[in-house]
Amino acid sequence: MAAAMAVRALRALPHIRIPALPASCSLHTTPPRLKTRAARVRVGKGDKAVTYEKAHPPHYIAHRKGWLSLHTGNLDGERCAAQRAVEDSFVRRFLHGTFPGCLADEAVLKRRSNSLLVCLLLLRRLPPSKLCFLLGYAETLLSHLYKCPVRIEAQTVPDAAVYKYL
């Protein structure tokens, strides 16, 4: 009673908008958009070239896909998985910037005992001497940054392998 009187009193004032207190709950008539969007390339007109890696959504990992980053941090009793993840993301951004437009696919990072192996797939956009320069630069800088031997194994392809067009 008092609440209803208060609501009516407030309604008299023209400036304040109050939500109408519903008497009953209404049903959701449109479903909420619950689609997962992680690591999926959405189907488009058919002109988007997509590699095997990008074409498969993440539930295919260990079925049709492998891992892009291999380390023992996620095994039972092992520590520092989060640090490895941070290092990986930094290395990928670094490579993306150092080899502008030359990366054909995501780099695969493998950690073997002390060392970090970066397996790169490069396009033949730059002349080979410039690629050698960038590879030497990246190896030295990354080893000094992470205090471990970093080896880059690069392979060049004429153009990126297209799996399908979406």
Position among 81, 89, 140, 164 found at the interface with other proteins (CB under 8 A): 140
Inter-axis angle of helices 128-146 and 81-98, nearest 10: 150
Judged by beta carbon, residue 58 or residue 140, the one nearer other proteins is: 140
Judged by beta carbon, residue 88 or residue 139, the one nearer other proteins is: 139
**Least Cβ distance, residue 53 to other proteins (angstroms):** 20
Position among 92, 156, 160, 163 found at the interface with other proteins (CB under 8 A): 156
- φ, ψ for residue 124 (rounded to 5)? -90, 50
Distance between CA atoms of 35 and 85, rounded to whole angstroms?
26
Which residues 89-128 are close enough to bind other proteins by CB under 8 A?
A: 124, 128
Contacts of 69 (CB under 8 A, 6+ apart): 84, 85, 88, 108, 109, 110
Position among 39, 81, 153, 161 found at the interface with other proteins (CB under 8 A): 153
Judged by beta carbon, residue 55 or residue 102, the one nearer other proteins is: 102
Length of the chain: 166
Q: Is there binding between residue 88 and other proteins (CB under 8 A)?
A: no
DSSP letter assigned to residue 103:
B
